[in-house]
Amino acid sequence: MTVTLADVAARAGVSAATVSRVLNSNYPVAEATRDRVLRAVAELEYVANGPASALAAATSDLVGILVNDVADPFFGILASAVQSEMSGDSTSGGEKLAVVCNTGGSPERELTYLTLLHRQRAGAVVLTGGATEDPAHTAALAARVARLSAAGTQVVLCGRPPLAVGVPTGDGGSAEGPAGASSASGADTGPAPLTVAFDNRGGARSLTEHLVALGHRRIGCVAGPEGLTTTRHRLEGHRAALAAHGIEDVPGRTVHGAYDRASGYAAAHELLRQDEDLTAVVAANDTVALGVCAALREHGLRVPEDVSVAGFDDLPFSTDAVPALTTVRLPLTEAGARAGRLAMGREPAPADGVVLLSSELVIRKSTAPPYS
Amino acid sequence: MTVTLADVAARAGVSAATVSRVLNSNYPVAEATRDRVLRAVAELEYVANGPASALAAATSDLVGILVNDVADPFFGILASAVQSEMSGDSTSGGEKLAVVCNTGGSPERELTYLTLLHRQRAGAVVLTGGATEDPAHTAALAARVARLSAAGTQVVLCGRPPLAVGVPTGDGGSAEGPAGASSASGADTGPAPLTVAFDNRGGARSLTEHLVALGHRRIGCVAGPEGLTTTRHRLEGHRAALAAHGIEDVPGRTVHGAYDRASGYAAAHELLRQDEDLTAVVAANDTVALGVCAALREHGLRVPEDVSVAGFDDLPFSTDAVPALTTVRLPLTEAGARAGRLAMGREPAPADGVVLLSSELVIRKSTAPPYS
DNA sequence: CTGTTAGCGCTTTCAG
DNA sequence: CTGAAAGCGCTAACAG
């Protein structure tokens, strides 16, 4: 049936052990023998059995990348960067199978994938995007991550805050109830989770401050879904800017919604219904901003003459929008690349395990001084 | 160290076989026993060893999705659809690890991933996006796919034409040279590769015909990268429309480039240099069309008053562009879903193994009759 | 319904 | 430098 190591060994006239050694090049083998083996491998079109190697070696060449939504360029860019850094880029022959898993923003699927990856004994896992803040989920996630770490898997969080550590068993409140008889205490805590975070708070703050500096006072805010770290941080930054300038944070001026265009569209309508005289709107991200612009246009409002609109992330299409979007640029590619390198141990981890990437305000055409 | 099946068996007071049976629920087990086992699993926080199962059962729960560029929404949408259909959607407990692999458009990486997936004994693999037409690569790809099929992996091509079959060993020309002593002849050819293809040719043709019907005669064409099936098909459709209406296909009016914005931007400048009087431009896809629009605007040309522009794919942002893009809608989500179902054997395969999905012309604001 | 018995294909000491 | 042998953790016949 399918060609095995033994077949190759037989054809090359050596032992299986030798074939294994040349294939993994982790042990000295005579030049001549190596050639013979390699030839046999080619002739037989041998393809190693990954599961078998993984089982025997207790480690696999699989590394995972979790994203909230593959169809969203934000994650696509991040994933692409992480991935190209993880795939053994022809440097060390260590071919890694870097795979991206789509959670669709569902906390359950996130946990499921983590388990699946753990099952496969993945060498590393990077979790991208904002984290759900529900306590039960946070606890479950921390537990999964701890187990992964204990199993030797390097976990890297990218685009979300560091995980609260030291969450041992026996916590109250959690729905599940893993009982006592667990493994030994302490000891094997594997590699500590690392983090590459964005300065969402600072970015949002400077964005709103830009608007305030322009003269805006009645600023609407289309925030992301509630219960997501990213949403909270951006909102906090926005509010901090408002507070710093003595502008009242009117509740009705903030609306929550998904990170997509439809949500921006609906939110803008809602915002306008609450307060017809808004002079500016900060959106949860660029995609949402596009939806906001569309809704505004339908109301006969011009951007930025009548209402200024700002996005967040600076995705590629933002520059093509009409008018080009004022936004906050997040170093997505750098973040992904560093997360990938950290995961592969190709970059020294910072002492506190956290890399904070700064954001940059990008002023384009969608914001201007208020008309009236 | 890590908890194994045996540990669970011991704790539950049963044999390993029984634990395996309740975990895989593929064999009758007494209710009481099952509960006992499940409890032990929970208490011990047991996570099965995937590689070990895969080795013993000779199949893994890994399924792969190859895409040219995760950061491109076209692939993101496709991948997302395929993936949600592949992940055991809570129906049958069969949790699959659906992973997407980013080839970055590189033929070599495509082959590498195929090998890696084969190594992992993936249960299914879907290859998305246009295929490279280089003969050497096509042969290598066909060989890899044949080997995957022989290994029992269901291969599905999505968004690319069916693979030419019957490519046995001993072909001339190929760079590599797998020698004789291969396996037995014929016999175990596993599941035949399936295909879900788009009607790129027809879509492109109707798009150009729309332009011709509007009165355009000097139509520029920004085609995708050469040597890609998708590029060739769309170009053929465009030319067929031209020919059908007796319009000369001036060579200088077609420019090739990548499927990205920058390429559209550069191509439009190039096109304008060749022929200042172009009245319309059909772009390789929507993203490219955006680049074309930007370049046109820089030239002081209005869309669609001075020059009409059309895209392809109908990605989400096309409707938000100003003006909204006339384009050809490809049923991306349906294609991905069907490919996923086909891969999982959840949908009967058509007799000839090919599902052809039709495209639909979407007329919006970026095309209009020529000015002069 | 449940336990026993063999491996799955590879890596890895441990001796040559 | 190379071979022999002992599993890695799980599944899959077979017997009970």
Q: Does B369 touch chain A (CB under 8 A)?
A: no
Q: Which residue's entry shows tokens 């798009």? A: B207
Distance CA A66, CA A56 (A): 27
Strand order in the sheet with A194-198: A354-357, A194-198, A154-158, A124-128, A62-67, A97-102, B97-102, B62-67, B124-128, B154-158, B194-198, B354-357
Interface test with B, best of A36, A39, A45 (most B CBs within 10 A): A45
B54 Cβ under 8 Å from any chain A Cβ: yes
Run of H or E residues at B97: strand B97-102
- Measured between CB atoms, which of A55, A100, A109 is closest to B99? A100
Confidence check: pLDDT of B311 > 90: yes
pLDDT higher than threshold 80 for residue A356: yes
Of A2, A100, A188, Cβ closest to residue B100 = A100
- Which of B53, B48, B81 minimizes the C-alpha distance to B67? B81
Dist CA A123 CA B98 (whole Å): 17
Instruction: Check whether A166 has a pLDDT greater than 70.
Output: no
Q: How far is the CA of A15 from the C1' of C16 (A)?
A: 14
Q: Which residue is nearest to nucleotide D13 (CA to C1')?
A: B17
What mean pLDDT comes out for the span B266-275? 95
Residues 309-348 of B with CB under 8 A from A: 316-317, 320-322
B118 neighbourhood in chain A, CB within 8 Å: 47
Which is more confidently placed, B320 or A99? A99
Residue A180 has pLDDT above 60, yes or no: no
For chain B, give the percent of residues with pLDDT over 70.
91
| Cβ contacts of A77 on chain B, cutoff 8 Å | 71
Query: Looking at A110-114, A131-135, A197-201, B189-193, which range is the least confident one?
Result: B189-193
CB B245 within 8 A of CB B217: no
Asked if B317 contacts A290 with a C-beta cutoff of 8 angstroms, the reply is yes
Give, in degrees to the nearest 5, the angle at Cα A80 between A124 and B102. Answer: 90
Which pLDDT score, from 0 to 100, does residue B172 have? Answer: 37
Closest CA to B201 of B243, B227, B229: B229
| Beta carbons within 10 angstroms of residue B287's beta carbon | 28
Strand duo B97-102 + B154-158: pairing? unpaired
User: Tell me, what DSSP letter sits at residue A30?
Assistant: -
Interface subset of B 92-121, CB within 8 angstroms of A: 95, 97-102, 104, 109, 112-113, 115-121
Q: Is the pLDDT of residue A136 over 70?
A: yes
Distance from CA of B184 to the nearest CA of A (A): 8
For B170, which residue in chain A has the nearest alpha carbon?
A43
A56 CA → C16 C1’, Å = 24
Residues A35-57: tens digit of each pLDDT: 999 999 999 999 999 999 999 99
Packed helices B73-86 and A73-86: angle between N→C axes, nearest 10 degrees:
80
- Rounded to 10 deg, the angle between the B200-214 and B229-244 helix axes is 40
Nearest nucleotide (CA of B15 to C1'): C3
Find the mean pLDDT for residues A187-208: 90
| Arithmetic mean of pLDDT over chain A | 89
Given CB atoms, is B293 within the 8 Å cutoff of chain A? yes
Q: What is the DSSP letter of A251?
A: G
A172 pLDDT higher than 50 = no
pLDDT > 90 fraction of chain A, expressed in percent and rounded? 75
Average pLDDT of B270-284? 95
- Minimum distance, in Å, between the CA of residue B290 and any CA atom of chain A: 7
Looking at residues B81-106, what average pLDDT do you find?
Answer: 76
Residue B312 confidence (pLDDT) above 50 = yes
Contact flag B261-A316 (C-beta cutoff 8 Å): yes
Of B54, B76, B293, which has the smallest distance from its Cβ to A72's Cβ? B76
> What is the distance, to the nearest Å, from the Cα of residue B66 to the centroid of all Cα atoms in its chain?
7
| Distance between CA atoms of residues B148 and B150, nearest Å | 5
- Which amino acid residue lies closest to nucleotide D3, measuring CA to C1'? A15
Distance B33 CA to C3 C1' (A): 14
Tell me the C-alpha distance between B170 and B174, whole Å.
9
- Distance, Å, B150 CA → C10 C1': 21
Helices and strands (H, E) in chain B, number of each type: 12, 12
How many other CB atoms are there within 10 angstroms of residue A271's CB atom? 23
Cβ(B217)–Cβ(A80) under 8 Å? Answer: no
Assigned token pair, A211: 């608007």
Share of chain A above pLDDT 70, in %: 91
pLDDT value of position A87: 74
Nearest-by-Cβ selection for B119 from A50, A188, A316: A50
Using DSSP's 3-state secondary structure scheme, residue B195 falls into strand
Token readout for A154 is 């390097």
Closest CB to B147: pick one of A45, A50, A112. A45
Pairwise CA distance, residues B342 & B279, whole Å: 43
Is the predicted pLDDT of residue A169 greater than 50, yes or no?
no
CA nearest to B82 within chain A:
A102
- Between chain A and chain B, the number of residue pairs with CB atoms below 8 A apart is 187
User: Could you give the domains of chain A?
Assistant: 5-53 (1.10.260.40), 59-198+333-357 (3.40.50.2300), 200-328 (3.40.50.2300)
CA of B307 to C1' of C3 (A): 79
What average pLDDT does the segment B43-57 reach?
92
What per-residue confidence (pLDDT) applies to B188? 60
Per-residue confidence (pLDDT) for residue A210, from 0 to 100: 98
Report if CB A328 to strand C is under 7 Å: no
**How many C-beta atoms surround the C-beta of residue A352 within 10 A?**
10
Residue A188 touches chain B, beta carbons under 8 Å: yes
E strand or H helix that includes residue B207? helix B200-214
Q: Do B11 and A181 touch (CB under 8 A)?
A: yes
CA gyration radius, chain A: 25
Q: Kindly indicate the confidence band of residue A88, based on its pLDDT and cuts at 50, 70 and 90.
A: low
Q: For position B127, what pLDDT does the model report?
A: 97
Which stretches of chain A are assigned E, i.e. beta strand? 62-67, 97-102, 124-128, 154-158, 194-198, 219-223, 254-256, 280-283, 308-310, 327-329, 354-357, 360-362
Average pLDDT rounded to a whole number, residues B40-52: 92
Residue of A nearest to B102 (CA): A80
Instruction: Decide if A258 touches B, using CB distance below 8 A.
Output: no
Q: Lowest-confidence range among B183-187, B281-285, B289-293?
A: B183-187
Position B232 pLDDT exceeds 80: yes
State how far the Cα of B332 lies from the Cα of B315, in Å rounded to an integer.
9
Pairing of strands B62-67, B124-128: parallel
- The answer to whether residue B70 scores a pLDDT higher than 70 is yes
Contact criterion met (CB below 8 Å) for B181 and B339: no
Quick check: A214 and A308 in contact, CB under 8 A?
yes
CB contact under 8 A, B317 and A290: yes
Among candidates A280, A210, A277, A272, which has minimal Cα distance to A245? A210
3-state helix, strand, coil in chain A (%, to 5): 45, 15, 40
Compute CA distances A348 → A79, A335, A345, B286, whole Å: 21, 15, 7, 41
CB-based contact (8 Å) between A42 and chain B? Answer: yes
Q: B101–A101: do the CB atoms touch at under 8 Å?
A: no
Q: Which residues on B lie below 8 Å from A102 (Cβ)?
A: 79-80, 83-84, 98, 100
Asked if A214 and A253 count as a contact pair (C-beta separation under 8 A), the reply is no
Question: Across chain B, what does the average pLDDT equal?
Answer: 89
Mean pLDDT confidence for A106-110: 92
CA A310, CA A313: separation in Å to the nearest integer?
10
Convert the pLDDT of each residue in A227-272 to its tens digit: 999 999 999 999 999 999 999 999 999 999 999 999 999 999 999 9
Question: Among A142, A156, A16, which residue's Cα sits nearest to residue A83?
Answer: A156
Local structure of B48: helix, strand or coil? coil
B290 contact residues in A (CB cutoff 8 A): 317, 320
CA of B88 to C1' of D10 (A): 22
Q: What is the pLDDT of residue B87?
A: 74
Tokens, residue B266:
């550069």
Asked if strand C comes closer than 7 Å to A5 Cβ, the answer is yes
Confidence (pLDDT) at B92? 41
Distance CA A252, CA A275 (A): 8
Q: Is B73 on the interface with A (CB under 8 A)?
A: yes
B64 pLDDT band, cuts 50/70/90, is very high
**Residue from A203, A198, A279, A189 nearest A236 by CA:** A203
Residue contact B49–A61, C-beta within 8 A: no
- Find the mean pLDDT for residues A282-293: 96
Helices and strands of chain A, counted as H and E runs:
12, 12
Q: Which residues contact B160 (CB under 8 A, 6 or more apart)?
A: B127, B128, B129, B130, B131, B195, B197, B229, B230
Any chain B CB within 8 A of the CB of A5? no
Q: Which nucleotides of D are covered by protein (CB under 7 A)?
A: 1-5, 7-13
Range from A55-64, A184-193, B7-16 carrying the lowest mean pLDDT = A184-193
- The distance (Å) linking the CA of A96 with the C1' of D16 is 46
How far does the CA of A37 sit from the C1' of D4, in Å?
19
In this predicted structure, the answer to whether residue B294 has a pLDDT above a threshold of 60 is yes
pLDDT at A58: 87
| Torsions phi, psi for B213 (to 5 deg) | -60, -30
Q: Six-digit token pair at B157? A: 């091509």
